[in-house]
Amino acid sequence: MLIDLHAHSTGSDGTDSPAGLVAAARAAGLDAIALTDHDTTAGWAEAATAVREAAPGGQSGQGGPVLVPGVEISCEREGRSIHLLGYLVDPAEPELAAELARARESRATRLERMVERLAADGIPVTYAAVLAQVPAGATPGRPHIADALVAAGAVRDRDEAFARWLRDDSPYYVHHYAPDPTRAVGLVLQAGGVPVLAHPFTRARGVPVLGEDVVAELAAAGLAGLEADHPDHDEPTRARAHELARRLELLATGSSDYHGRGKTVRLAAHTTPAEVLAEIELRGTGSAVVRP
Ligand code: AMP
Ligand code: ZN
Ligand code: FE
Ligand code: FE
């Protein structure tokens, strides 16, 4: 079974449409794909339609891919960015929906401020040029500034734009509104979803963003799992994440964090065991997994 529980579409900063993502997952032989755009569930309907209309596929020949509807919630603790995956949430749950809307609005203002800072330093970008890169209805993010810089010929790709100007520790970086992760875990649970901490040991400036104390705090708040296998984690880090998941009695997932052409990582670069997805499906009551 090939199960990839973290992927982006044009609902945020991925480059495949939601239907295109489902098609790519099928072409890659996936049995299950989770659509987890940043701070939005807007792509779910299109992805669900693409799954339902498709002929069966998938490596196991059981039909696929199934769609696991999800969202990647931007959170912040002490100025540091933390991402929480929420699977099978009810997208209409008022508090969660309001929090996601607030984050999306704040992201737009924040991009405008970042563009002002970049332009003031002579970097060739305007807010209009950035908006031209944001698909209709998508959650805006730094990758869209990167795309405008690529279009202007200032950099080759998103990676170069991040390395030069867009990193968290860059002088051009501006924060956006984001809830505390403990609150976000509560919101996901309240919306009937399954909260899984995304890439818990991602490093910024060479040091892990998150301490194990924060993971333990989130576990006490009802966190269900850790994304142990992720491209941001090297082999020793993945082993440590699995160990931590065992110790805190959390599920351990694996995923690619696919962004289409926006990143070099391929679908199913890391995968999740079928038993873990079955457990997520059992616990998630806000939405259902979509089958072909
Ligand atoms: P934002 O959501 O605006 O804070 O931007 C963060 C997003 O940028 C994340 O989804 C990352 O996947 C993406 N990102 C971070 N670093 C890079 C990079 N070097 N190249 C491409 N995308 C990146
Ligand atoms: Zn992203
Ligand atoms: Fe993330
Ligand atoms: Fe992601």
106 and 177 in contact (C-beta within 8 Å)? yes
38 lines ligand 1 (CB under 6 A): yes
State in Å: Cα 102 to ligand 3 middle: 18
Dihedral in degrees, nearest 10, Cα atoms 286, 188, 9, 154: 170
159 lines ligand 1 (CB under 6 A): yes
279 lines ligand 1 (CB under 6 A): no
177 lines ligand 1 (CB under 6 A): no
Q: How is residue 2 written in tokens? A: 């090939």
pLDDT in tens, 39-74: 999 999 999 999 998 765 544 444 579 999 999 999
Rounded to a whole number of angstroms, the CA Rg of the chain reads 18
Ligand 1 pocket, mutate which of 8, 10, 13 (most atoms under 8 A from CB): 13
Q: Check residue 60 and give its pLDDT.
A: 45
Q: Which residues, 6+ apart, have CB-to-CB distance to 108 below 8 Å?
A: 140
176 lines ligand 1 (CB under 6 A): no
Count of other CB atoms within 10 angstroms of residue 130: 24
Dihedral in degrees, nearest 10, Cα atoms 63, 27, 10, 268: 80
Ligand with smallest separation from the Cα of 141 = 1
Cα–Cα distances in angstroms (integers) from residue 50 to residues 6, 20, 47, 138, 291, in the given order: 18, 8, 5, 19, 10
Question: Range with the lowest mean pLDDT among 2-6, 57-61, 187-191?
Answer: 57-61
Q: Check residue 205 and give its pLDDT.
A: 72
Ligand with smallest separation from the Cα of 257 = 4
In this prediction the pTM is 0.96
13 lines ligand 1 (CB under 6 A): yes
Q: Which residues, 6+ apart, have CB-to-CB distance to 237 below 8 Å?
A: 201
State in Å: Cα 225 to ligand 4 middle: 16
Q: How is residue 258 written in tokens? A: 């696919």
